[in-house]
């Protein structure tokens, strides 16, 4: 199979590239050439700005003249419907399947436990990123190019230790807080269910969709069936970081999402539009389209491997001091409030 991946150096895309190369597929990556991540052995690389249609078309011009085609083109970095529309014009002569990587964050949220299916309406009132991804889907559906849509949910891997807030750009921040005894901020009361999926499992599902006739015209999310509470997620990270359950319980402090958004307004979209709502997924579609696929990496195992990856190179252990200050301040306010309740209201 001949595959073109646009943006092959991200969390999921690099895993997809590695798996495709390991399976012996003819793989080409389109990147800007700025990532320190090496392409898999035997991979062809095209250096171009894939957000600039003219630049991308110029880079692909020789292939078009030679009549070369890709079985599948996988687009990871299209974030606007205009980009998708330009891609359709670029790749219609070059591929039999255009795969758009969208997001499950576009799904409508519910005030009860509601397993999400691919037919769940797309409505996100708070997060522009999710709304634009939904618009990308709509631009693709009526385009005429053979398409498949993939909707990953919250994905983690070796270079990404997941958290609720404050560690996105520097994932080691959360582990550092745990190990030095700082407060571990949990959202709400920590009992909302959330689904995390290892990047290798998402990539395996995606690879099974490529050049798969049954996947044409299908939108599919690829997630684990393991739904954990936010308290359970943080407890698993703490155990992998070497804390006892007693240490974790002593450090954990519950803070409403409203307070976290007030402290960091830039997080409003991701919190109000995504993480504060329970997310449990029906995975029957991906299992139907890719027989034998299942998410194989349990969170306890995956997060332990991620911590080991960071420990292997101290240069990876960067900490976000601004996020640390915010989390310290918010946790202190809520611990003080609990003390006041005990002193003024308690027996």
Q: What CATH number is given to the structural domain containing 199?
A: 3.40.50.720
Chain centroid, CA 116 distance in Å: 17
Q: What pLDDT, on the 0 to 100 scale, is given for residue 89?
A: 95
Q: Is residue 72 part of a domain?
A: no
In the predicted model, what is the mean pLDDT of residues 183-209? 97
Q: Is residue 54 part of a domain?
A: no
Query: For residue 223, is pLDDT > 70?
Result: yes
- The domain total for the chain is 1
**What 3-state class would DSSP assign to 303?**
helix
Provide the 10 A C-beta neighbour count for residue 137.
19
Query: For residue 335, is pLDDT > 70?
Result: yes
Task: Tell me what the pLDDT averaged over the chain comes to.
Answer: 95
Query: For residue 328, is pLDDT > 90?
Result: yes
Q: Which residues contact 174 (CB under 8 A, 6 or more apart)?
A: 161, 163, 166, 167, 184, 234, 237
CA distances from 268 to 41, 165, 183, 271 (A): 41, 10, 22, 5
In the predicted model, what is the mean pLDDT of residues 225-251? 98
| Helices and strands (H, E) in the chain, number of each type | 13, 13
Query: For residue 5, is pLDDT > 70?
Result: yes
- CB-based contact 344:336 (threshold 8 Å): no
- CB-based contact 241:175 (threshold 8 Å): yes
Look up the domain containing 246 and give its range.
Answer: 97-340
Q: What pLDDT, on the 0 to 100 scale, is given for residue 9?
A: 84
Q: What pLDDT, on the 0 to 100 scale, is given for residue 274?
A: 95
Q: Is residue 63 part of a domain?
A: no
Q: Is residue 289 part of a domain?
A: yes
Q: What are phi and psi of 158, to 5 degrees?
A: -55, -40
- pLDDT for 150-164, tens place per residue? 999 999 999 999 999
In the predicted model, what is the mean pLDDT of residues 47-68? 87
Q: What pLDDT, on the 0 to 100 scale, is given for residue 35?
A: 64
Q: Is residue 38 part of a domain?
A: no
Query: For residue 12, is pLDDT > 70?
Result: yes
* pLDDT band of 36, cuts 50, 70, 90: low
Q: What pLDDT, on the 0 to 100 scale, is given for residue 61?
A: 82
Q: What pLDDT, on the 0 to 100 scale, is given for residue 37?
A: 67
Q: Which residues contact 244 (CB under 8 A, 6 or more apart)?
A: none
Provide the 10 A C-beta neighbour count for residue 228.
18
Q: Is residue 51 part of a domain?
A: no
Q: Is residue 90 part of a domain?
A: no
Q: What pLDDT, on the 0 to 100 scale, is given for residue 32?
A: 81
Q: What percent of the chain has pLDDT over 90?
A: 87
Q: What pLDDT, on the 0 to 100 scale, is given for residue 113?
A: 86
| Residue in the structure block whose two tokens are 């600039």 | 52
Query: For residue 295, is pLDDT > 60?
Result: yes
Q: What percent of the chain has pLDDT over 70?
A: 99
Q: Is residue 298 part of a domain?
A: yes
Query: For residue 65, is pLDDT > 90?
Result: no
Q: What pLDDT, on the 0 to 100 scale, is given for residue 68?
A: 84
The overall pTM is greater than 0.85? yes
For residue 308 the two structure tokens come to 């080991």
* pLDDT band of 67, cuts 50, 70, 90: confident
């Amino acid at each position: 199979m001949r595959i073109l991946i646009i943006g092959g150096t991200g969390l999921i895309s690099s895993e997809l590239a590695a798996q495709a190369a390991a399976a012996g597929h003819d793989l080409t990556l389109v990147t800007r050439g700025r990532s320190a991540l090496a392409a898999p052995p035997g991979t062809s690389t095209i250096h171009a700005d894939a957000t600039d249609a003219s630049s991308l078309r110029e880079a692909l011009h020789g292939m078009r003249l030679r009549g070369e085609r890709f079985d599948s083109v996988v687009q990871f970095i299209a974030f606007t419907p205009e980009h998708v529309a330009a891609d359709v014009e670029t790749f219609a002569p070059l591929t039999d399947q255009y795969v758009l990587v969208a997001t499950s964050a576009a799904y409508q949220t519910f005030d009860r436990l509601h397993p999400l299916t691919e037919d769940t309406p797309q409505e996100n009132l708070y997060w522009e990123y999710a709304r634009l991804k939904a618009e990308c889907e709509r631009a693709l559906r009526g385009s005429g190019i053979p398409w498949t849509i993939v909707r990953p949910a919250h994905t983690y891997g070796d270079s990404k230790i997941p958290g609720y807030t404050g560690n996105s750009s520097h994932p080691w921040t959360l582990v550092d807080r745990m190990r030095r005894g700082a407060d571990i901020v949990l959202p709400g009361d920590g009992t909302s269910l959330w689904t995390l999926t290892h990047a290798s499992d998402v990539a395996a599902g995606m690879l099974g969709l490529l050049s798969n006739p049954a996947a044409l015209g299908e939108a599919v999310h690829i997630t684990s069936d393991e739904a954990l509470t936010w308290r359970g997620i943080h407890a698993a990270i703490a155990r992998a970081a070497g804390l006892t359950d007693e240490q974790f319980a002593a450090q954990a402090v519950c803070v409403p999402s409203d307070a976290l958004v007030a402290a960091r307004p830039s997080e409003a979209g991701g919190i109000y539009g995504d993480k504060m709502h329970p997310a449990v997924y029906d995975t029957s579609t991906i299992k139907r389209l890719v027989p034998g696929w299942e998410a194989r990496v349990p969170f306890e195992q995956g997060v332990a491997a991620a911590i080991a990856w960071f420990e292997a190179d101290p240069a990876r252990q960067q900490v976000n001091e601004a996020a640390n200050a915010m989390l310290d301040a918010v946790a202190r306010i809520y611990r003080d409030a609990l003390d006041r309740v005990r002193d003024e209201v308690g027996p």
